[in-house]
A and B are shown apart, each in its own frame.
Chain A
């Protein structure tokens, strides 16, 4: 019996019982598709996090106070400032650091943050993240002004009541028409919207598009007080200078804050590469988790296929008996069942791959899935192996019987 003949009789077997074939196809398709798609989602979210961090710039450092400075509310900051004013990073320290003439440092941008209610004449929005900073913020952070303009250094000097707001906040407050040039009330104080930020993808748990950025002097004056800033973003002159800048900043801050015991510094300096490493680690564990879920779905799909194959062969033991009685060798029968199982599972697998590739084109829960190359042969290989084994193994047992045994099997 030629290879072509075996294929032809396999195709006849596949089309003879359509329901069975469709069930097998579906089982393999779902198994393969979900494995590829779930791994793609895990990988995609990992890449989103990495991209977000990379776009922050690899030449920036973040300095956080260890004593309450990282918190949000003005109250906390005020207490921290009064109890340990010497050892907190204030705007004064920030200015001194910027003016210290450090060789590898290009800019120092302080930020204070709090959470306030912001309203227009028609709507209001609770707990909006408010950032007080200097004009340099728009150079060192991922926030870029899309329409209007950023506030200026002069605005900071004069504590101007101007604000740049996130795109979501803009449409919340002014659903019809642009918010640009309009007035918004921040806890009762009117601010003029001078700019609207470009929409950013969410990297963490907070929405980066619901935010209000205003001059640090104004935010401190009206809301947080003049205590510790929450973070300092330090821009190094180049990405190669980051490590050197980190050393300079640490030494200079210790000097400015009068720290003598360097094992107990009141601040932490982090650079993006260490953030990247942390994020990569958490993304990996997320992918592993999704991979486990995917493996389970592949297993379930495999059990489904196994089930159909086993039922099929039992059902077809009589047919195997007839074929043997007519002179089929064991090899010919094995070949037929192998070709049938391989055709069905391969077809189902390929459909699963196509479905997964189509599914991966859509955002799933804010994440753009990125298909992992190795997941395709892996998922295909495992499901085809399962399908072929359970299609062929019982057929092989039936083919080893005497024809009359197989004929009387049911």
Chain B
């Protein structure tokens, strides 16, 4: 059985070996005349512990790529290896386990469960991970505290502002301490102060050795990454070292 454990994804065990490897990835939506080629041949390696920002115009295929990385969708063609395992070869339940244990996903549109409190939303991944009730509560509150929403734990999504919902979604993605954090415009709805808070959380995750991929439209957000990819019209068109690294090196 192809199992992916925390150890195999952890930077120490894999060293500089790529944790994400994409080869010839195509994604086509619809058929015939109406077919949309969202991705048109993506080759990409992401090393363990890297902090990658993806930029590109609207509709260029960023979210499409992110959904593939998060094992939420399957590519029309091409191979995607996650920690050395071809995703296609994983069974349904193995995929569920990977999503639960290894990946923290922040959606562009939050995707909180309506009519469930912020706390209950953040607890969800822990429930599926089999954590005990008391431990779940503690960890969920901790995660909410980290995004500055401990005092909103009992509020339901519809009672929260867009930015607050975004932060609940981030807390939910981080609560399982995943080794791979995927965030689709996590600061899109936040003011500069909240943005700074989120970015410093990501910075600390990065320095703790987690692998991070983030989509953004904002240069100042991309500046914090170690590597900045540009995508346009379904193709990778740019790959440069992030300012943060350059600054540190010089």
Contacts and interface: CB of A to CB of B under 8 A. Distances in A.
Interface of A: 1-2, 5, 9, 12, 16-17, 318-319, 321-332, 402-405, 407
A17 B98 CA distance: 31
Contact of B72 (A1, A318, A330, A404): A404
A17 B116 CA distance: 11
A323 B92 CA distance: 14
Contact of B105 (A17, A325, A328, A331): A325
Interface residues of B, number: 29
19 contacts: A1-B128, A12-B116, A12-B120, A17-B115, A321-B111, A322-B111, A323-B124, A324-B96, A324-B99, A325-B72, A325-B107, A326-B100, A326-B124, A328-B128, A329-B92, A329-B93, A329-B96, A403-B73, A403-B99
A327 B111 contact: no
Nearest to A330: B92
A1 B127 contact: yes
Contacts of B67: 404
A79 B19 CA distance: 113
A16 B128 contact: no
Nearest to A5: B127
Given A319-B113, A402-B73, A327 B125 contact: yes
A332 B128 contact: yes
A1 B96 CA distance: 13
| Most-contacted residue by chain B among A5, A17, A318 (CB, 10 A) | A5
B72 A326 contact: no
A327 B115 contact: no
Main secondary structure of the interface of A (DSSP, over half): helix
Interface of B: 67, 70, 72-74, 92-93, 96-101, 105, 107, 111-116, 120, 124-125, 127-130, 172
Given A325-B72, A325-B105, A327-B99, A16 B116 contact: yes
Contacts of A403: 72-73, 99
Nearest to A16: B115
B104 to A, nearest CB: 9
B146 to A, nearest CB: 18
Contacts of B114: 319
B116 to A, nearest CB: 7
| Most-contacted residue by chain A among B116, B128, B129 (CB, 10 A) | B128
Given A327-B128, A328-B128, A331-B93, 9 more contacts: A17-B115, A322-B124, A323-B113, A323-B128, A325-B107, A329-B96, A332-B128, A403-B99, A405-B73
Given A402-B72, A402-B73, A407-B111, A327 B116 contact: no
Contacts of A329: 92-93, 96, 128
Contacts of B92: 329-330
A325 B114 CA distance: 15
A84 to B, nearest CB: 86
Contacts of A12: 116, 120
A325 B99 contact: yes
A326 B99 contact: yes
Nearest to B100: A327
Contacts of B107: 325
Contacts of A331: 93
Contacts of B96: 324, 327-330
